[in-house]
Amino acid sequence: MRRAPACLFPLLLAAGAHAGAAPALGEIRVNQLGFLPQAHKVAVLPAGAAGEVEVIDAASGAVAWRGRAGPAATWRESGETVMLADFSALTRPGEYRIRAAGAAPSAPFSVRAGAYADLNRAALKAFYFNRSGIALDPAHAGVYARAAGHPDTRVLVHASAASKARPEGTVISSPKGWYDAGDYNKYIVNSGISTYTLLAAFEHFPDYFARQRNGIPESGNALPDILDEALWNLEWMLSMQDPNDGGVYNKLTNQNFDGMVMPDKASGTPRYVVQKGTAAALDFAATMATASRIMKAYEQRRPGLSARMLAAAEAAWEWARANPAVAFRNPPGVVTGEYGDAVFDDEFAWAAAELYISSGKDSYYAAMKPAAVTATVPEWADVRGLAWISLAHHRKSLSAVADQRLIAERIDGLAAALAATWRASAYGVPMQGTDFVWGSNAVALNQSMMLLQAYRLNGKRDYLDAAQAGLDYVLGRNATGYSFVTGFGARRVLHPHHRPSVADQVAAPVPGFLAGGPHAGQQDKGDCKAPYPSALSALSYLDDDCSYASNEVAINWNAPLVYVSAALDVLGGAAP
C-alpha cells in the first residue's frame, strides 16, 4: 500500500518539552472511555497476571463481573505476551475498573448509552479549532480562543501553477479551509478524504448529527453543525479550482513551515497556490460530487450551491481526463507537505463512483471500471475504498448498470480479511505489522470504518465487534497504554505536535485531536531529546511535541474518529 507522512517537519522544537507520564508496567489495558451496554468488551492483561479477572465498581469496589482470561499469546508488534479478558456479559451501566492478581488495575471506564457522544463532538470540534482565516472567540473556543490567522484573501499564483490566464504572481482569494495538521498550510489531496469522511458520517447517520450542537459560530442555523463545519473547508476547496480550465491547485502554502507560534504570528510570509495535479483534481471532483448530493436537501438555505458543486466536480473530472498523469512534486523553494502521488487508478475510480451516484449518468460507472477496482482500507494516497463505501450506501437507488453483487463482495471481502486478523491477534485488534505506518492510529480507525460498512450490509456481528476493537485501540487498549485522543482517558496524550497547542500558553492541549500513533520509522528522533521507548512498531511512540512522526495531529486522522465514534454510538446501541 502507498503510504507517506501527512507532513514532514524537520524542525527542532524549543527545549523544555516534556512527554506525558509513561504507563505503568504490567497494567491492564482497556478502552479508557468506555462502552455501550451491548458492546463487545475486551481488556488486555500481562502474561504474569492471574487468570481470574474481576470488573469492579470504580467507587465501591464491589465486584460486577468475574471471569477468566484466555490463553497467553505473543503479539509480535510489541513483543509482549498477553491474555485477553472478554467481559461483554457486563451490560449494567456504571463506572468500573478491571483487576487481576499480578497486574496493576486498569484505568477507569464507563458502561453507558451514548458512550461516544462527547468524544464525537470533540473530534468534530477539533476541525473548528483548526480553521484558517477566522478568530476563535471565547464564546465558542473557551480558553483556546485565538486571533485570526492566514486570511488568504491575497494569495499568489506560484510559478509552478502559472497559466496564460493566471500568470505567475496573479493575486487570487482563497480564504477559509482547515489547517491540515500541526502546520498552517492547506492541501487539497488530504482535504478530499477528510471532508468526504465527515460527509459520509452525516449521510450514513443523519439523525445522529441532526440533533448535535457543537458550539461553533454557525450552531443553530438551518444546517447540522457537521455540514457547517464541512462547508468551511468545501468553500475553500472551491476557490482552489482554476475557473479557466477546471484544474485544481494541489495546495495553498508558505514556502517553508512556520515556527511554533500562533496563527496570527505566522501570517506575515507570502502564501501561494502551487501546481495543479491529477490527484488534486480527482479528489476534488469526488468530494464535490458527494457534497452536491447532500446539499440538495438544503437548496433553500444555500441556493445554487449543490448545482455549483456538481458542475465544479465535472469540470475537474474533465481536466483530469485531459491530464491523466500529472504527479505533484514540490517545486524548487517549496518544502512544505507534499502529498505526492504518482498512481491515479484509485482516484479515477473514486471520482467516477461519486459522479455516477450524484449525476445519475451511467457513463461514470463505466469509467470507474469496477471489475478492476479492489477494496482497500482508505488513506490519502489510496482512496478506492471510498468508492465502495458510497456505492454500498446508495446501492438501492443505483441504476441497472451497477453490479450489486460485486459491490457487496468488495465490502465483505475486505471486512472478512480484517476480521480474520482481529480474531487471530494476541491483542484482539485488526492491526498488524504493515499497518504501523505514519498515522497508524488513523489506519486502525479506517479499518473500523470499512468493517462498519460490511456490518451495515449484512449484520455480521463479528464485523461490529472488530470495528469496536479499533476504537478500543486508540482509546487505550494498545501496547503504549495511552489514550491517543487529547482530552479523553486517564492516561491521555498531553503534548501533541500541534502549533496552537504548543504556543497558546494553555497547559492542556486543544481537545479532541487524534495523535498519529506508533510506528518504527522514528524520522524525528534526531529532533527529540527524549528517546523512543522501543524500536518495535507498536511501542515506538513519544508523547512529546517534538515528535512529528508519532505525535502530530491531522485532519485525515480525525475524520475517521468522527465517523467511527458516531457509527458505534448508533449501530452499537441497536446491536443484539
Helix (H) or strand (E) holding 110: strand 109-111
Sign of CA dihedral 279, 349, 322, 285: negative
Sign of CA dihedral 73, 75, 79, 85: negative
- The four Cα atoms 154, 158, 161, 167 give a dihedral, to 10 degrees, of 80
Helix (H) or strand (E) holding 171: strand 171-172
Cell of 278: 491529477
Alpha helices in 86-133 (DSSP H): 117-129
Q: Which amino acid is at 164?
A: K
Which parts of 497-569 are beta strand (E)?
Answer: none
Question: Which residues are CB-neighbours of 321 under 8 A, at least 6 positions away?
Answer: none
Cell of 370: 469496477
Question: Which residues are CB-neighbours of 316 under 8 A, at least 6 positions away?
Answer: 241, 246, 247, 248, 281, 282, 284, 285, 288, 351
d(CA 225, CA 210): 8
DSSP string, 400-432: TTS-HHHHHHHHHHHHHHHHHHHHH-TTSSS--
Alpha helices in 475-543 (DSSP H): 499-503
The phi, psi pair for 275, rounded to 5°, reads: 30, 130
β-pair partners for 155: 172
Cell of 24: 505503568
**Terminal CA-CA length for the chain:** 35
The residues assigned a catalytic role are 183, 497, 543, 552
Do the beta carbons of residue 106 and residue 487 sit within 8 Å?
A: no
d(CA 58, CA 114): 20
Do the beta carbons of residue 190 and residue 285 sit within 8 Å?
A: no
The phi, psi pair for 264, rounded to 5°, reads: -70, -20
Which parts of 322-420 are beta strand (E)?
Answer: none
β-pair partners for 104: 27
